Amino acid sequence: MRNDVSKEWWSEGVRFECQGSGQCCLSRGEYGFVFLTREDRKRMADHFQLGIREFTKTYCDKTKGYFHLKEEKGRDACVFLKGKKCGIYEARPTQCRTWPFWPEVMNSKTWNKEVKTFCPGVGKGKLHSAEEISKNLKMQKSSELALHRQRKP
């Protein structure tokens, strides 16, 4: 990713504020898994005062070598979604913290065609500056790299 963000479509910032729809916590198949780095699992395990191994056994599944949160059977929702709220908000995974500023969706085509229609928080509330967006993109990118490094086939 370029360091100069002035040419990005989001260079003037983007309005986004979570509307509590819970949409991003519902699974859309493999695409919708909440993937977890070791750091994510450690943070969440600490939240429950569990060891990382115990947390992983209780709350995680593994697909193609990548750990991700389990889903509630029959509802295809994240195991921590309570009503429309996150039941582990303070300790939520990086993927949930950085939404919707993910490298794979921050191109104008995907943003306008998919993110805008899927997420009711887009265009509402707080204006996130280009610097903030850039920081989230970097955080998400390094989390994705860690996921690949930590993959256990």
Give residues in contact with ligand SF4 (CB under 6 A): 25, 34, 78, 80-81, 86, 88, 92-93, 96
The helix or strand, by DSSP H or E, that contains position 41, with its residue range, turns out to be: helix 38-47
Nearer to ligand SF4, 11 or 19 (CB): 19
Nearer to ligand SF4, 3 or 49 (CB): 49
Shortest distance (Å) from residue 97 CB to ligand SF4: 8
Shortest distance (Å) from residue 93 CB to ligand SF4: 6
CA distance 113 to 117: 7
DSSP letters for 60-112: EEEETTEEEE-EETTTTEETTEETTEETTGGG--HHHHHTT--TTT-SHHHII
Shortest distance (Å) from residue 78 CB to ligand SF4: 3
- 3: which strand partners? none
CA distance 93 to 39: 9
Nearer to ligand SF4, 34 or 119 (CB): 34
CA distance 81 to 25: 7
Per-residue DSSP letter, 145: H
Nearer to ligand SF4, 81 or 133 (CB): 81
Shortest distance (Å) from residue 136 CB to ligand SF4: 15
Per-residue DSSP letter, 125: E
Nearer to ligand SF4, 5 or 52 (CB): 52
Shortest distance (Å) from residue 6 CB to ligand SF4: 32
